[in-house]
């Protein structure tokens, strides 16, 4: 539950600042995420767009997630100092989401959680379409942790690496469209969630050409961020998301 003790709700016409971070280090993907975020944002919202540094070029599995988190947390702390009203982690694995909520006072939104919440609002049954098969169990566990396992019919994969979405957009789109239709026809999905931030720019076309409502997590997360800023909510520091403890000491090996 958020705290409103010290933060007033944003007034009409007041500038909102949403920090959107790409946890991987591919700048071109950050630019694509930024285009989706700015399309979704209100006219008086500033999108503070950041690429993590020294992280994997794409996040495809548990090890990539773990390697991306320290740099991402550092960028979130820096954005807090710049006055961010909310943070969006623009990777569908929601890497380090709970840790990010510990280090931030502003709300932190993962694009998977945001998209799943929208899907549950708009439909009874939904499916997710992601990139590689190795991401399927990660997303299944996330959906379960967000309380949506019974509503999610299936997590599908197009079996393409994340970076191929940029390298071959036409081929990637064809595979995505086929899986969206399969989710509709075989899963009885009423909505499809795109399981990668790099798919964001294909969302509207997929909806128009398949007849299936398709949800992009970047759009969902930015709009949620604006709503939370507008209501004046902050991350609760009573318990699970309390500030990390400052620790000293530790083992220091003797000099040789």
The answer to whether domain 16-110+219-231 and domain 112-217 are alike in fold is yes
Interatomic CA distance for residues 239 and 250, integer angstroms: 25
Is the torsion defined by CA of 245, 247, 250, 255 positive or negative?
Answer: positive
Contact 95, 141 (CB under 8 A): no
pTM, two decimals, is 0.91
The CATH architecture that domain 112-217 belongs to is 3-Layer(aba) Sandwich (3.40)
How many other C-beta atoms lie within 10 A of the C-beta of residue 43? Answer: 5
Residue scoring higher pLDDT (9 or 56) = 56
Contact 107, 228 (CB under 8 A): yes
Q: Does domain 16-110+219-231 have CATH number 3.40.50.12500?
A: yes
Domain limits of the chain?
16-110+219-231, 112-217
The pLDDT, as a whole number, for residue 11 is: 57
Phi/psi of residue 160, each to 5°? -125, 140
Cα distances from 118 to residues 100, 189, 191, 207, in angstroms, run 22, 14, 10, 15
Contact 18, 222 (CB under 8 A): yes
Average pLDDT, the chain: 92
Q: What is the mean pLDDT of residues 221-233?
A: 96
pLDDT grade for 233, boundaries at 50, 70 and 90: very high
């Amino acid at each position: 539950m958020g705290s409103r003790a010290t933060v007033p709700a944003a007034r009409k016409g007041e500038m909102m600042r949403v920090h959107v971070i790409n946890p991987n280090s591919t700048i071109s993907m950050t630019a694509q995420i930024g285009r989706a975020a700015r399309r979704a944002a209100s006219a008086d919202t500033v999108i503070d767009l950041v690429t993590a540094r020294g992280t994997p070029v794409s996040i495809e599995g548990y090890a990539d997630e773990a390697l991306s988190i320290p740099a991402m947390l550092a960028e979130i702390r820096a954005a807090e100092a710049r006055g961010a009203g909310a943070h969006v982690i623009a990777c569908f694995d929601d890497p380090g989401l709970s840790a990010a909520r510990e280090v931030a006072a502003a709300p932190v939104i993962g694009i998977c959680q945001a998209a799943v919440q929208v899907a549950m609002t708009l439909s009874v049954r939904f499916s997710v379409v992601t990139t590689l098969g190795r991401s399927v169990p990660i997303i299944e566990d996330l959906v379960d942790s967000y309380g949506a396992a019974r509503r999610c019919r299936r997590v599908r994969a197009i079996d393409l690496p994340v970076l191929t979405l940029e390298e071959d957009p036409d081929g990637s789109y064809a595979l995505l469209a086929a899986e969206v239709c399969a989710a509709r026809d075989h899963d009885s999905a009423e909505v499809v969630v795109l399981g990668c931030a790099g798919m964001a720019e294909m969302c509207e076309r997929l909806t128009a050409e398949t007849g299936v409502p398709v949800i992009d997590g970047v759009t969902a997360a930015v709009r949620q961020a604006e709503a939370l800023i507008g209501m004046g909510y902050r991350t609760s520091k009573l318990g699970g998301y309390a500030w990390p403890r400052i620790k000293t000491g530790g083992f220091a090996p003797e000099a040789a």
